[in-house]
Chains A and B, each alone.
Chain A
Amino acid sequence: MRSETEAGSEREATLVRLIEQYKPALWRLVSSYEAEPSRREDLFQEIALGLWQAIPRFRGDSSERTWLYRIAHNIAISALDSRRRRERQESPMSSSADYASPTHAADEAVLEDEQRQALFDAIRRLPAVDRQLMVLYLEELSYEEIEQISGLSQSAIATRLSRGRVRLTEAVRGKERRHDSAAR
């Protein structure tokens, strides 16, 4: 029988591997929920804590990737809910536009950065369910995987994704148009 120390080390090694492997994807996911960098860090830690707690429960019934996305999204929803409850009595936070790049610079890199910012802002404004589906789509998961993670049917996923894509494309194009008129 394995000792508790061995199990603990194995669990830690699994967490380190998961974080290393999925760090960029998890960071993008976190950015789709939180605009402010310090909150992203906090949420990232919450997700890592959730994974740490969930590792012993993973039985391989689904792929590691779908399991990880389920946990990450569920923790993000829950953490956001808790934070909003805490902040309800406080003054409203500054909008995500505070973290946007300068709007009047004219070079292409800045435009790309602004568009990316507009994309993340638009994702954060989506209803929670659409946001989760959109993030999974943008991470290039298949419809089967999204179905396994979300529990929604593929037709429902397709409808919501189509609606979400239109909203996101409009947001990015809107930013492009504003950038162009500012440059003129």
Chain B
Amino acid sequence: MIPPRDDLQQMWRAGSGGLAGPTAELIHNVQGKMLDFDRTIRWRDLRETAAAVFIAIVFSWFAIRGGAPLERFANIWLAGWGVCIVFFLRRYSQASRKPLPDMTLSAYSHALQERYERQIRLLKNAKYWYVFPFWVGMMLNAVAYLEHHGSIVRFLILSAGVTVFSGAIWWLNESIAAGYIESKRRELLARMENGED
């Protein structure tokens, strides 16, 4: 049985002032947004693939062009790393996608939090799938350079540069980016349970 309307319900029902514009206009805007959404997804996919293809082509070209076996191996390694990055970036973009809103409200808020957690895990694991393979490839190149040119000073400068750069990427992912997403996750949790404003 439906209980009689209370005062709050009556007051609420009267609160439709400033209603959204005509439906036809709304549908038109929605279709426009839909096209923008599709274009954004296509452009992102294209950009990621193009970046990886570029990296793979450049290092493959270095490998084909010649050099010592170690240098070739390092360049093939880096070309392979470029291809792997595409795989992981695609995984990252999937992890970043919002959950489907058809689920119950509690399942959806869990899914939103899990989405943050997936992003955090992926960023914390960047040292394995992003930083370390890059560092290995570049260090192999540095060793090949040392073998070929015999300049220990240049080798040390190159190694230090690659290591500092890799360390910075690691730190950015693990501390800054993951920390930022973690704070967002906590904020969402607080808003769900404690309210805000």
Size band of the interface chain B makes with A: 35 or more
Interface residue ranges, A against B (CB under 8 Å): 12, 15-16, 19-20, 23-24, 26-28, 30-31, 37, 40-41, 44-45, 48-50, 52-54, 57-58, 67, 70-71, 73-75, 77-78, 80-81, 84-85, 95-96, 112, 115-116, 119-120, 124-132, 137-140, 142, 148-152, 165, 168-169, 172
Shortest distance from the beta carbon of B194 to any chain A beta carbon, whole Å: 5
Q: Are B15 and A119 in contact (CB under 8 A)?
A: yes
Q: Are B26 and A127 in contact (CB under 8 A)?
A: no
Q: Are A129 and B23 in contact (CB under 8 A)?
A: no
State A87–B24 Cα separation when bound (angstroms).
Answer: 31
Question: In this assembly, does B44 line the interface, its C-beta being within 8 Å of a C-beta of chain A?
Answer: no
- Hey, which chain A residues are within 8 Å of B105, CB to CB? 70, 73-74, 77, 129, 132, 149-152
CB < 8 Å: which of A30, A54, A127 contacts B101? A54
- How many residue pairs link A and B with beta carbons under 8 A? The number is 155
Known contacts A19-B23, A96-B197, A116-B15; 14 additional CB pairs below 8 A are A24-B19, A44-B26, A49-B37, A50-B101, A73-B105, A74-B105, A85-B184, A116-B12, A128-B193, A129-B106, A138-B9, A149-B104, A151-B104, A152-B106
Q: Are A138 and B8 in contact (CB under 8 A)?
A: yes
CB < 8 Å: which of A28, A54, A95 contacts B100? A54
Interface majority SS on B: helix, strand, loop or mixed? helix
State A172–B13 Cα separation when bound (angstroms).
Answer: 15
Chain A minimum-CB-distance residue to B29: A45
Chain B minimum-CB-distance residue to A75: B101
Q: Are B101 and A48 in contact (CB under 8 A)?
A: no
- Hey, which chain A residues are within 8 Å of B2, CB to CB? 140, 142
